[in-house]
Structure 1
Amino acid sequence: MRVLVTGAAGFLGQAVIAALLDRGHEPVAFIREGGRLPRQQVESAIGDVRDLESLRAVVQSVDGVCHLAALTRVRESFAGPLWYWRTNVLGTLNLLEVLGRKRPEPARLVLASTAAVYGTPETQPISEDAPIAPTNPYGATKAAADLAAANVAATGRLGAISLRAFNIAGAVDGHPDRDFTRLIPKVLAVQAGLAEELGVNGDGTAVRDFVHVADMAHAFVLAIEACTPGEWRAYNVGSGRETSINDVLAAAEQITGRPVRIKRNPPANEPRVLLADSRRIREELGWQAPNSDLSQILSDGWKALTSAYAAPE
C-alpha cells in the first residue's frame, strides 16, 4: 500500500515510516519546505497541510494517509490557540477535502489523536467510551479533527481511524525525541548535560501511561490496514502500566548511572492518574506493546540521545 505520512520528519513520523517499510508498504514522506528529511531512503513530497494545493498534488497518488502533522504542546496551545486551530483543524480539513473526492477506491486515513480529548476523567483507566471533554486548546483541536474525520467517513468516501496516544517515548533507529518539554526526553536531556534540571511538580507520585514509540508506530500500520470505507473508529494506545514520576526518575538514574538533578515545584493543577484502557485495539487489531517496559523506553531513548549529542564525561 502506498501511504502518505504527514509530519514525516518528526519523532513519531520517522518511526511510522520505519514500521510501514518493515510491513512491506510504500511510505511517502510529506515534509515542509526546509524540513529535515527522514533518515530512511523513501520518496518525499514538499508541502504543508495548511496549503490545500500542496496536499492535492500528492494525495491523488496514494492509497491512504497517516496524518501526524500537528502542533502538540499543551501549555503552548493556551498561549496561541488560533495557531493550533489553524494547523491541527484546518490542516485536517484540507486533508479530508482532498481525500474525500471521488476515487477508484475510498481512501484510508489514520489520525494521530491524543488522550487529551478526554480531559481529566475520574474513572481510570480511560476507555474510548469516556466523554470527550478537553481542558486545553490542543485537546480541543484534536477532538475537532476526530469528529470531522468521523463525519466524512460516514459519507462512505473514506475509512478513518483515530489513534489516541497517551505518552510516547523511547526511540527507533537511533532517532531521539528532541522535544524537551516532555517528561522522559527532559529527564534524559538533564542526564546528558543538555538541560540543567528537571522541574517536578509536587511529590512525584502522579501516575502516567508511557508507550514506546515503536509500539505506537506499529499501531499506525495495523490501523491503516484496518480502515473500512464508511467507518470511523477511535482506539486508545497506551501500555496500561502505572508509572509514577518517581519511577521515571529512579529508572533514569539506574540506566544513566547518575542522580537526576531536580527542582521541586509546588503541586500543579493536574490529574493524579492518567491511564489508558487499550483493550479495544488489542482485541480488534491484535496490537500489543512488547517494547513499552519503562526500562526499555528509557534505555532506547538514552542510547539515541547520547549518539546524537556528545555526552559529558
Structure 2
Amino acid sequence: MSSSQAKRPIRTLVTGASGFTGRYLVERLLGRGHTVIETTAGRDEPETPTRLKLDITSPQACQRVIELARPDYIVHLAAISFVGHDDPLDFYRVNVIGTLNLLEACAAVGHTPRKLLIASSANVYGNVASDAIDESFPVTPVNHYASSKAAMEALVRTWFDRLPILIVRPFNYTGRGQAPNFLVPKIVGHFARREPSIELGNIDVARDFSDVRYVANAYEALLDSDVAGEIVNVCTGTPYTLRNILSAASDLTGHELEIRVNPAFVRQTDVKMLAGSPAKLHSLVPGVESIPFIDTLRWMLTA
C-alpha cells in the first residue's frame, strides 16, 4: 500500500475543548491517536490548524469551522453550564441555538461525520424522587439551564434521521481543575487550606457524583461505538450527600470544619436526590469502569 493510501489520522472536532470536561477528553482522544481540532471562543489568540475560533451563536462561523475541519467526529461540549449564570437568554442562545447552528452547518457544507456526541445534562429530569433515574423518565426541567438543555434535546432529536447523533446526559461530576464555584471543589479547597469553617446550603441533598476522568472515558468509548440516535445517562448509580462528602474529606485530611448553613445558598428548586441508572451506558460500552468517589476526593485533595 502506498503511503498516500495510508490510513489518515481520525480528525475529531471538540467544541468547549478548553473547558473542564474538554481538557480531559482532548487528552484522552490524543492518547488514542486522534488529531483533535479544538474550538475556542477566545477573540485574541491566533488560529492554528488544530485550534479554530468559533462563536457558536453565529451560523456563518459554524459553517466556516465545519468546512475547514471536515471532522470524522464532533464532540459538542460548549455550553453555559453554571446554573447561577446571570443572563437567562444566554442559556438559550448558546445551548439551544448554538447546537442547532452546528448541525445546520454540517448540512449546509454537505459534511456528515461518523458520529456527533452532544452533551446535555441530567438536570433535564428536574426534581425526581428516585435513586435510579433511567433514560425513560420524563423531562421536567426546573431552571433555565435545564430548560435550555431540554429544548436543545427536543430539537436535536429532529436531526436523528439526518445525522448520526448521540446525546449524553451526564449527572454531577467533578475532578481537578473544576471551577471553585462548584460544590465539591469548594469543599476540597476549604479542607486543603484547612479553613476553620465553610458556608453551604442544604448538606442533605444527594447527588450521583462521577469522576471527570470516567466521564471522558465514557464519551470516548461512546464515540467509538456504533450507537447513534440514542440518549444515554453518564453516571455511576451511587448517590452521596454533601454530608457524606464532608465527612470523607475530614477523614482523608484529619481536619474538622465547622459547617454553617447559609440560607442564601439553599435554592428552593434544589433537587433533593439525583442519582442515575448507568444500565444503558454499561450495556453500550461495558468496558468503561467508574472510579470510586473516595478515590476522586483523594486525587483532588492531593492536587
The TM-score range, normalised by the shorter chain, is 0.7 to 0.9
Q: CA deviation at 1:196?
A: 8.2
Q: How far apart are the structure 1 equivalents of 2:166 and 2:71?
A: 17
Matches within 5 A, 1:73-84: 73-76=82-85, 79-84=86-91
Provide the residue aligned with 2:243 in structure 1: 246
**Aligned partner of residue 116 in structure 1, secondary structure:** helix
1:258: Cα distance to partner? 1.9
| 2:122 is the alignment partner of 1:125 | no
- Summarize deviations over 1:216-259 as a string: whole Å, max 9, x none: 0011112222355xx42111111111211111101212233322
Query: Normalising to structure 1: TM-score of the pair?
Result: 0.84
1:187–1:260 contact (8 Å) kept in structure 2: no
Query: Quick check: 2:74–2:113 contact (8 Å CA) kept in 1?
Result: no
Distance (whole Å) between structure 1 residues aligned to residue 213 and residue 193 of structure 2: 26
Backbone CA RMSD of aligned residues: 2.5
* Alignment check: 8 A CA contact 1:211 1:289 kept: no
Paired positions, count: 288
Say whether residues 1:53 and 2:52 are aligned partners.
no
Structure 1 residue ranges, 4+ long, deviating more than 4 angstroms after superposition: 34-37, 104-107, 194-197
**1:10 paired residue number:** 19
Greater Rg, structure 1 or structure 2? Answer: 2
1:17-73 deviations in whole A, cap 9, x for unaligned?
Answer: 011122222211111225899xxx992112221122222222232112111110012
The sequence identity of aligned pairs, in percent, is 28
How many angstroms does 1:91 deviate by? 0.9
Q: Quote the Cα distance in structure 2 between the aligned partners of 1:104 and 1:166.
A: 31
Unaligned runs of 5+ residues in structure 2 are 1-9
Match in the other structure for 1:185: 185
CA contact (8 A) 2:72 2:114 kept: yes
Is 1:148 aligned with 2:145?
Answer: no
Distance 1:36 1:200 in 2: 38
Equivalent position of 1:257 in the other structure: 254
Unaligned runs of 5+ in 1: 305-313
Q: 1:19 aligns with which of 28, 33, 43?
A: 28
Return the TM-score normalized by structure 2: 0.86
Aligned pair in 2 of structure 1 residues 259, 81: CA closer, same or farther (>3 Å)? same
Question: Does the CA contact (< 8 Å) of 2:17 and 2:23 recur in 1?
Answer: yes
**Paired residue secondary structure (1:180):** coil
> For the structure 1 residues 295 and 226, does the alpha-carbon distance in structure 2 shift closer, same or farther, using more than 3 Å as the test?
same
Specify the SS of the correspondent of 1:246: helix
Deviation at 1:3, TM superposition (A): 0.8
Cα displacement (A) at 1:120: 1.1
Residues 61-80 of structure 1 aligned to structure 2 (within 5 Å): 61-76=70-85, 79-80=86-87
- Tell me the SS of whatever aligns to 2:23: helix
Alpha-carbon offset, residue 197 of structure 1: 5.0
Distance 1:2 1:236 in 2: 25
CA–CA distance in structure 2, aligned partners of residues 92 and 66 of structure 1: 11
Quickly say closer, same or farther: Cα 1:114–1:17, change in 2 above 3 A.
same
1:164 to 2:169 alignment: yes
Question: For the residues of structure 2 that align with 1:194 and 1:91, how far apart are their CA atoms?
Answer: 42
